[in-house]
Amino acid sequence: MGKTPAVRAGVWGGEAMAGPRRARKLWVWMLIAAALASTYIAAGRVAVERSNRRVDLVMDYDAAVEMCRAAGYPVDSFMRRAKMAGLSSVALNERTVGDMVEKGQVHVFSGRQIMDYDRLAPVTDPVLRRMIDDGRLFGSNTYLFPRDVSTYNEIAPLLDMRLAGERVSVFNSRRFGAFIEMAKGPRQVEDVNIGLDPAEVREVKGAGLQVVARFRNYPDVTPEKIAFFVDRLAETDGVRLVIFEGQEALGYPDSMREAAAAFAAHGLTFGHVEFAAQKGDKSLAELMVPAVVRVHSITAAEMDKIEPQTAVDRFIRAARERNIRVMYIRPFPAKSGEELAAVNRNLDYIEAIARGMSAAGFAVSGAQPLAPYSPSQVLLIVVAAGILAGAFMLLDMAASVPPIAELGLFALGLVAYAGLITTRFGTLFRQLAALGAAIVFPALAIGFVVVWSRRVRGTSWGSGAGLRDALLLWLGGSGVSLLGGLLLAATLSSTSFMLHLDQFAGVKVAHVVPLIIAAVLYWRYQMAQRRSGGDLVAAAGEILSEPIRVWHVLILAVVGAAGLVYIMRTGNVYFGLPIPAFDQGMRVLLEKVLVFRPRTKEFLVGHPALILAALAMLRGNRRLALPLALVGCIGQISMVNTFSHLHTPLLATVLRTAYGLVIGGTIGAIVYCLYAAYLHFAAGRPSGGRAVKTAAGEGETVEG
């Protein structure tokens, strides 16, 4: 009599899997080789991450000036005290004509204003008088009058380059000296940026702090203008970092390559602001890799609401968990009646950040970019071979495929991958390989639990042996997922991914597809053999032909709602679902106790559920096993997904995952013990019936 499809597909370690033993050994050896290659890649990445331990604390100059003015406190004194508190740098925005007007260094009038003044009191300056009389003074133009000759000599070459290509004229007046005519309105003129203010640079450097330049883009920017102002910046000793002001990167959209070349020529580093929406910033960062550092800031709007300790924790977390190396600090605004106290409050704030960084093992000084890192293509191909081997192992569990076909597809896939990663689409195909790992290995982990539970079935909910076997099954499955996470991380390990310029693609797919595969595997090995002689298609037909009941609809509605929440809470695009208060509090507590907080969906949901699912399978409880296995699969998916966060230091990922396993395993064992105690208590209560075993192995009370 022929074997059923389920028996032919077999299980690991006892029942014959599809394909000869040699094919199975090949997949195992490929996984071993891939694990070794991934470990080598991981060691290189860890070395790069551990060598990058310098953090730059950067204060926003304009915000600090505003706070000091409100408190009536000297800015230079605040800067010196901030340096003593731990501040390392100050960010200076470009000076504008409007800034010079505010300081009285220049005066700006429209032609219309001058002519209005002339009607009230005739202009006597010969040059202006002649311009008015000859109709040469235009009402729509703007006229800029420097305060003195030195001011004119300072800004004339700056405006000459900044406004190159526009209508600009210079006139010499006996009374007013040289003044400049521009074919712009006064507001447009006041918004013209002309580089850093030398006085502000001297003030910052006088306090012993480094200068961070904040360039601002403008519509008529050209490569020549970029080169001119970057060359002038290079003359400012000690400027090494540039962070852009406004909504666009300098040079966007047509001069990005020239901007990157100008920065590189002077050894400048680009500060890429985390979560910012600056147009062109990613393109510029990609052109400047590896001369890029990541920046974390708290917006001015947030500073009105956030508590100081919460802000401190955010900065420390950013450095520790996301490889952020520049902390852009805005001072807390002065409250009415407490202006002077705000100075000391902000100095304490800076000191707390610096102290926290030191306690976390960072040195507060000028940040350095990550050292360039990229594994060899040979290693990447070996890792891809392991991912393909895992995929064919999963295929062997789900279907019967001729071994020769598997080997042919394996060779074809590996050769294609080896060729494609050398092309300009190499990053895309590495992302696809990583997505394959994220799909295959969580499903393979559940397959491990499903298949092996058939071999050791026969224990009961109330026995220690049942818990032991369930824990071993869960650990085996988790080991499979950890291997998948390691292969995924190795596939994407490179500077661009570590800087979050490139990232893992297909997060939502990776969170859904393994659940579907896990359900198919469970059905094949735990359910189908009980229906239609193990014929999977026939068994599915029987299920589909059964009538739909109200409770079916209710369960589907609940599952659908839970699935929607699950999907909305995953991925790179967050849909704003609120975090429950208890969850937020638990996260804070775990961070304080463990430093690297394990993911809630792993230790509180996925791991306990998979342990209980293994127990249900061992017990033969089909009603509980499938939903628990699917919930348990969420934990396995999350583990692999954690390794896809390449901007998180690898050691932090490993520790976070290990904490999740320990805590999740403990919670699962406690839940099991509580349930076993409940059953023991229930069995000892007087009853009008007697306990019998059902076909499913569950105790039922029969009246009698």
Examine the pLDDT at 5 and tell me if it is beyond 90.
no
Instruction: Please indicate, yes or no, whether residues 161 and 213 belong to a single structural domain of this protein.
Output: no
Q: Is residue 226 part of a domain?
A: yes
- Residues 256, 261, 264, 268: is their CA dihedral positive or negative? negative
Domain boundary among 338, 364, 390: 364
pLDDT of residue 276: 82
Q: Is the pLDDT of residue 693 over 60?
A: no
Task: Report whether pLDDT(509) > 80.
Answer: yes
Average pLDDT over every residue of 319-325: 94
Same domain, 110 and 89: no
Q: What is Dmax (Cα atoms) for the chain?
A: 122
pLDDT over 80 at 209, yes or no: yes
* Mean pLDDT on 91-118: 95
Least confident window among 218-227, 350-359, 444-453, 551-560: 551-560
Q: Specify whether 152 is located in the same domain as 270.
A: no
- Is 699 part of any domain? no
Q: Are residues 184 and 203 in the same domain?
A: no
The half-sphere exposure of 237 on its side-chain side, counting CA atoms within 13 A, is 4
Who contacts 504 (Cβ-Cβ below 8 Å, separation ≥6)?
Answer: 431, 434, 435, 438, 488, 492, 641, 644, 645, 646
Across the range 600-623, mean pLDDT stands at 90
Q: Are strands 241-242 and 326-329 parallel, antiparallel or unpaired?
A: unpaired
pLDDT of residue 633: 96
pLDDT category of residue 525 using cuts at 50, 70 and 90: confident
**CATH number of the domain where residue 313 is located:** 3.20.20.370
Measure the CA–CA gap between 679 and 253, rounded to whole angstroms. Answer: 69
Residue 25 forms part of a structural domain: yes
Does 91 have pLDDT greater than 60?
Answer: yes
Work out the average pLDDT over 233-262: 92
Q: Do 110 and 32 share a domain, yes or no?
A: no
pLDDT digits (tens, 9 = 90+) for 331-387: 998 877 777 889 999 999 999 999 999 999 999 998 999 999 999 999 999 999 999
pLDDT for the residue 583: 63
What amino acid occupies position 226? I
pLDDT for 400 equals 79
697 lies in a domain? no
Phi and psi of 701, rounded to 5°?
-100, 125
Last residue in a domain, options 364, 386, 401? 364
Percent of the chain with pLDDT strictly greater than 90:
67
For the chain, what is the domain count?
3
Quick one: CA dihedral 655, 656, 658, 662, positive or negative?
A: positive
218, 299: one domain? yes
Does residue 3 surpass a pLDDT of 80? no
Question: What integer pLDDT is reported at residue 560 of this predicted model?
Answer: 64
Is residue 443 predicted with pLDDT exceeding 50? yes
Same domain as 357, residue 395: no
Considering only CA atoms, give the Rg of the chain.
Answer: 34
Average pLDDT for residues 474-480, to the nearest whole number?
A: 96
Please say whether the dihedral angle defined by the alpha carbons of residues 449, 453, 455 and 459, taken in this order, is positive or negative.
positive
Q: Sheet harboring 106-110: ordered strands across? A: 106-110, 142-146, 177-182, 168-173
Average pLDDT of the residues of the chain: 86
Give percent above pLDDT 70 in the chain.
84
Is 688 inside a domain boundary? no
pLDDT at 17 over 80: no
Q: Has residue 455 got a pLDDT over 80? A: no
- Residue 534: pLDDT above 60? no
Looking at residues 513-541, what average pLDDT do you find?
70
Confidence of residue 148 (pLDDT cuts 50, 70, 90): very high
pLDDT at 263: 96
183 & 269 share domain: no
The last residue of a domain, from among 169, 190, 211: 190
Give the pLDDT score at 402. Answer: 85
Q: Domain check: are 658 and 513 in the same one? A: yes
Is it true that the peptide bond before 290 is cis, omega within 30 degrees of 0?
yes
The more confidently predicted of residues 276 and 391 is 391
Which residues make Cβ contacts (< 8 Å) with residue 289, sequence separation at least 6? 372, 495, 496, 499, 501
Is residue 532 in some structural domain? yes
> Between β-strands 326-329 and 292-297, what pairing exists: parallel, antiparallel or unpaired?
parallel
At 697, the pLDDT band (50, 70, 90 cuts) reads: very low
- DSSP letters, 559-607, are HHHHHHHHHHTSSSS---PPPPHHHHHHHHHHHHHHSSPPPHIIIIIIH
How far, in Å, CA of 393 to CA of 10, rounded?
12
Tokens at 385, concatenated: 């071979």
Q: Hey, what amino acid is at 618?
A: L
Mean pLDDT of 621-650: 93
Q: Judging by DSSP bridges, how do beta strands 363-364 and 292-297 pair with one another?
A: unpaired
Distance separating alpha carbons of residues 611 and 615, to the nearest angstrom: 6
Per-residue confidence (pLDDT) for residue 172, from 0 to 100: 92
Same domain, 276 and 394: no
- pLDDT tens-digit series, residues 309-321: 999 999 999 999 9
Residue 21: the pLDDT is 62
What's the pLDDT tens digit per position in 573-611?
444 555 566 666 777 778 778 888 899 899 999 999 999
In a domain, 417, yes or no: yes
Evaluate whether 250 touches 226 at the Cβ level (below 8 Å).
yes
* Residue pair 194/94 in contact by the 8 Å Cβ criterion: yes
Q: What is the pLDDT of residues 281-292, one digit of tens each?
A: 999 999 999 999
| Average pLDDT rounded to a whole number, residues 647-668 | 96
Which of 299, 94, 60 has its CA nearest to residue 191? 94
User: What is the band of 546 on the pLDDT scale with cuts at 50, 70, 90?
Assistant: low
Q: What is the pLDDT at residue 587? A: 72
What was the pLDDT predicted at 558?
67
Domain that holds residue 316: 54-94+195-364
Pair 423, 517 in one domain: yes
d(CA 131, CA 368): 56
The arithmetic mean of pLDDT across residues 94-116, rounded, is 95
Enclosing H/E stretch for 547: none
Same domain for 178 and 300: no
Q: Is residue 506 part of a domain?
A: yes
